[in-house]
Amino acid sequence: MDLWMTEWQTQHLGMSVRIKETLFSGRSSFQEIAVVESEPFGRMLVLDGVFQTSLFDEFIYHEMMAHVSLSTHPNPKRILIIGGGDGGTAREVLRHPSVEKVEMIEIDGMVVDVCKEFLPEISAALIADSARLEVKIGDGIQHMSQAENEYDVIIVDCSDPIGPGEGLFTKAFYRDVYRALKADGLFVQQTESPFYHQELIRRLWLDVDDLFPVARMYLAYIPLYPGGMHSFTMGSKKTDPLEADLRPLPFRTKYFNESIYRSCFALPNFVQELLTAKTK
């Protein structure tokens, strides 16, 4: 049987992946969830037809979410992850010895359950049930509206801004994030592709840049995502990552290193122009 799955990255662009086997397919209250065994990317989580993460390249996304933000903060102890149901970000965050407590709020409990069953390499931290990790199934937006001066680092590990992730790309949400952070806190969010989501990036950049003393965008190569160039937006109350002292990480990484940290904030001219277009 010749089985293929295509993600329509835009209405004019598709990525087709040869599939060996469907391991899970179901529908939660929020979305369609599938886990497939693919040829090029190994096992993959697919939500509403969008490729979310794969065993082939998940290390890039999760390392770049966790280690760039935690390396920027001088002493990250209290961490909040919004979303991140596959557990990969929690796994990387918990590798930092300074971290005392990680809260993770995922809206879709079925994503957590499915990832624990079918993607244990990624969800290892959820399975291990560490005393430092508290997983809540609930609405991250609602949680944020009640938190104040609590967190050192907030990581918004969301899916695309359609469906359950939509409210995580609004100024109201960033205002709540600001309030939930301690005086030297910072947050980071995955913010899609500078090639294909320029309007979204321009809008959210304006919001983050308006609210936070330091706003920075950084990039990583992620082959599973449209265009291969993925952006992350950081809002920081105090530390500028361009001037941060870097602590050597006491563990091995597959993508992140000091050179990558120093270079990931370098933006091609067309991305710089995207960010400054409406702030002039």
- Which of 157, 160, 176, 209 is the catalytic position? 157
- 55 sits near a copy of itself (criterion: CB under 8 A): no
Count CB-CB contacts under 10 A for residue 185: 25
Q: Candidates 79-87, 90-98, 150-158, 256-264: pick the segment binding a copy of itself (CB under 8 A).
A: 256-264
Q: Quick one: which of 195, 206, 211, 238 contacts a copy of itself (CB under 8 A)?
A: 195
The first and second tokens of residue 201, run together, are 């990036």
For residues 170 and 257, which CB has a smaller minimum distance to a copy of itself in the complex? 257
How many whole angstroms separate alpha carbon 63 and alpha carbon 253?
A: 8
Q: Quick one: which of 34, 35, 36, 38 contacts a copy of itself (CB under 8 A)?
A: 38
How many whole angstroms separate alpha carbon 45 and alpha carbon 51?
A: 6
- 266 sits near a copy of itself (criterion: CB under 8 A): yes
- 222 sits near a copy of itself (criterion: CB under 8 A): yes
- 42 sits near a copy of itself (criterion: CB under 8 A): no
How many residues in the chain? 280
Interactions with a copy of itself, residue window 57-86 (CB under 8 A):
57, 60
Q: Cα 2 to the chain's mean position, in Å?
A: 33
Question: Active site includes 157?
Answer: yes
User: How would you classify the pairing of strands 133-137 and 229-236?
Assistant: unpaired
- 40 sits near a copy of itself (criterion: CB under 8 A): yes
Q: Quick one: which of 25, 26, 27, 39 contacts a copy of itself (CB under 8 A)?
A: 39
Angle at 264 between CA 185 and CA 242, to 5 degrees: 50
Q: What is the DSSP letter of 247?
A: P
- 251 sits near a copy of itself (criterion: CB under 8 A): no
The torsion defined by the Cα of 56, 60, 65 and 71, in degrees rounded to 10, comes to 140
Q: 71 CB contacts (<8 Å, ≥6 apart)?
A: 244, 246, 247, 249, 261
How many whole angstroms separate alpha carbon 232 and alpha carbon 4?
A: 30
For residues 163 and 227, which CB has a smaller minimum distance to a copy of itself in the complex? 227
For residues 181 and 275, which CB has a smaller minimum distance to a copy of itself in the complex? 275
Q: Candidates 101-109, 114-122, 172-180, 262-270: pick the segment binding a copy of itself (CB under 8 A).
A: 262-270
- 2 sits near a copy of itself (criterion: CB under 8 A): no
- 160 sits near a copy of itself (criterion: CB under 8 A): no
- 219 sits near a copy of itself (criterion: CB under 8 A): yes
Strand partners, 219: 231
How many whole angstroms separate alpha carbon 251 and alpha carbon 65?
A: 16
The first and second tokens of residue 189, run together, are 């969010």
Q: Compute the 3-state secondary structure of the chain and give helix, strand, coil in percent, each to the nearest 5.
A: 35, 30, 35
- 221 sits near a copy of itself (criterion: CB under 8 A): yes
For residues 146 and 276, which CB has a smaller minimum distance to a copy of itself in the complex? 276
Q: For binding to a copy of itself (CB under 8 A), which residues are involved?
A: 4, 6, 10-18, 38-40, 57, 60, 195, 219, 221-223, 226-229, 252-257, 259-260, 262-264, 266-270, 272
Write out the catalytic residue numbers.
Answer: 157
